[in-house]
Amino acid sequence: MFDEDLIQIESDFLKAIAQPTRLKILYFLKGGERCACEIIPKMKEDQSNISRHLTHMKDMGILESRKEGVSVYYKIKDKRVFTLLSLVDEMVKAEIKEKARKVKILA
């Protein structure tokens, strides 16, 4: 009935983006490829922490990277990740509206 392997892979993929810093990185990279030297200061977090996030998303196939000299450049591997995030945004906004409507009815 369920493909357990596929479910595990899907779960791991979703976990790889379901973290605030990783979402910030994704949105920062939405405009195109960026050097890690640009990403790290924008995130306002420890360099090693950002590097771990970048590596994890690369390992999960969400990002890809290339080296140019000593610099590493990252980009979104598949822009459809933003379609997924757009759907999540729609669902979250709908839920917020529904909760607000219920609060208004109870008030």
Q: Which helix (H) or strand (E) holds 102?
A: helix 81-106
> Digits of tens for pLDDT over the chain (107 positions)?
789 999 999 999 999 999 999 999 999 999 999 999 999 999 999 999 999 999 999 999 999 999 999 999 999 999 999 999 999 999 999 999 988 887 777 66
Helix intervals (H) in 3-80? 4-17, 20-29, 36-43, 47-59
Q: 50 — phi, psi (to 5°)? A: -65, -40
Identify the architecture of domain 4-77 in CATH.
Orthogonal Bundle (1.10)
- pLDDT at position 99: 86
In this prediction, residue 107 carries a pLDDT of 65
Give the pLDDT of residue 2. 83
Angle between helices 20-29 and 47-59 (to 10 degrees): 80
What ranges do the domains of the chain cover?
Answer: 4-77
